[in-house]
Amino acid sequence: MFATGVTIVTARGPDGAPVGLTASSFNSVALTPPLVLWSMAHQTSSLPVFNQCTHYAIHVLTVQQRELAERFATRGIDRWAGVAWQPSAQGVPLIEGVAAVFECANRSQYVEGDHTIFVGQVEHCSHRPDASPLLYHGGMFYTEHPLGRLSPTVARPLHK
Ligand SMILES: Cc1cc2nc3c(=O)[nH]c(=O)nc-3n(C[C@H](O)[C@H](O)[C@H](O)COP(=O)(O)O)c2cc1C
């Protein structure tokens, strides 16, 4: 019952090939230094790449990218076919047209049960303020339905 956004996390494998997967487990951790987290199931084929890589990128998807969200969670296909991307300064594939991107150093990993929690240190980030988010809730995709701004008297999380 917890609604989330949807991200695609990308990295470059040791053979130079781009890898990526859809992840809704993304969240913010800290502002100083800027840290974010996401978690990956151990059965995921790209786990060894993310265990080893120095950098990865977390892309926050727009409502127009639902097909991309499903594609990067589908096995046995070329996920990158026809996807517009550019390498970052560290060679990480950056997908174009997303709502936001966090370029992260692969700071720490915590094995917990059948998942590994990755904590990334954000080195660069950018966003499109006009983008409508892709949301995920109970096995369904949604987009925003604004209810109004947070009251100014409410203590909000510093990083959200
Ligand atoms: C909306 C959505 C959210 C997902 N979130 C996660 C996640 O946070 N962590 C994870 O390990 N897998 C998540 N998955 C599943 C992975 O995307 C999927 O298991 C992975 O792409 C399989 O990769 P593989 O074929 O390389 O093993 C999610 C899938 C969808 C559709």
- pLDDT value for 156: 82
Mean pLDDT of 18-33: 98
- The closest alpha carbon to 24, from 152, 134, 122, belongs to 134
Q: Does the pLDDT at position 159 exceed 80?
A: no
For residue 44 and ligand 1, the question of a CB distance below 6 A is answered with: yes
- pLDDT value for 160: 58
Annotated domain spans of the chain: 4-143
Q: Does the pLDDT at position 157 exceed 90?
A: no
Using DSSP's 3-state secondary structure scheme, residue 69 falls into helix
For residue 23 and ligand 1, the question of a CB distance below 6 A is answered with: yes
For residue 45 and ligand 1, the question of a CB distance below 6 A is answered with: yes
Using DSSP's 3-state secondary structure scheme, residue 100 falls into strand
Calpha distance 93→84 (Å, rounded): 10
- The closest alpha carbon to 21, from 112, 95, 91, belongs to 95
Multiple choice CATH, 4-143, 1.10.287.3510, 2.30.110.10, 2.40.70.10, 3.40.50.720: 2.30.110.10
Q: Does the pLDDT at position 138 exceed 80?
A: yes
Q: Does the pLDDT at position 158 exceed 80?
A: no
Six-digit token string for 160 = 């959200």
- Reported as a single tens digit per residue, the pLDDT across 55-77 is 999 999 999 999 999 999 999 99
Using DSSP's 3-state secondary structure scheme, residue 65 falls into helix
For residue 3 and ligand 1, the question of a CB distance below 6 A is answered with: no
Calpha distance 94→6 (Å, rounded): 16
Q: What pTM was estimated for this model as a whole?
A: 0.97
User: Phi-psi category of 44—alpha, beta or left, where left has phi over 0 and alpha has psi -120 to 50?
Assistant: beta
How much of the chain exceeds pLDDT 90, in percent? 96
- Reported as a single tens digit per residue, the pLDDT across 80-135 is 999 999 999 999 999 999 999 999 999 999 999 999 999 999 999 999 999 999 99
How many angstroms does the Cα of residue 156 sit away from the middle of ligand 1?
30
Atom from ligand 1 closest to the CA of residue 40: 11
